[in-house]
């Protein structure tokens, strides 16, 4: 899993590339958790490079969403590949996460 981070205004964007599974979930969680612990309140996760997400990946996103909610912050997602979007739909997570089609829509939503 390749993880790139960029700060755009007050929004911390994380670009994930690869499989978001049990092997990469810990690394992703560390990066997102570090941003939250350093005061990030607005996280956008760009999943355009993620072709597969497992329950471990979903758990990481849910855990970060919970931490941010406690700090009155938000995590939003953008650019989901069709299979990844289907996983979110089937798991009912489209009701929990705000999901945007493009990176710019995600940024503008904050």
Query: pLDDT of the chain along its 110 residues, tens only?
Result: 999 999 998 999 999 999 999 999 999 999 999 999 999 999 999 999 999 999 999 999 999 999 999 999 999 999 999 999 999 999 999 999 999 999 999 999 99
Residues 63, 49: Cα–Cα separation, whole Å: 21
Supply the pTM of this predicted model.
0.95
Of 15, 3, 71, 20, nearest to 42 (Cα)?
Answer: 71
Helices (H), the chain: 22-37, 55-70, 82-90, 103-108
As a CATH number, domain 2-108 is: 3.30.750.24
């Amino acid at each position: 899993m390749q993880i790139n981070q960029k700060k755009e205004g007050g929004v911390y964007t994380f670009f994930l590339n690869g499989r978001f599974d049990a092997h990469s979930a810990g690394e992703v969680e560390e990066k997102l958790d570090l941003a939250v612990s350093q005061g990030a309140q607005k996280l956008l996760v760009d999943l355009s490079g993620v072709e597969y997400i497992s329950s471990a990946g979903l758990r990481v996103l849910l855990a970060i969403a919970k931490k941010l909610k406690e700090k009155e912050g938000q995590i939003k997602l953008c650019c989901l590949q069709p299979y990844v979007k289907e996983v979110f739909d089937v798991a009912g997570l489209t009701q929990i996460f705000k999901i945007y089609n493009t990176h710019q829509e995600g940024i503008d939503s904050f």
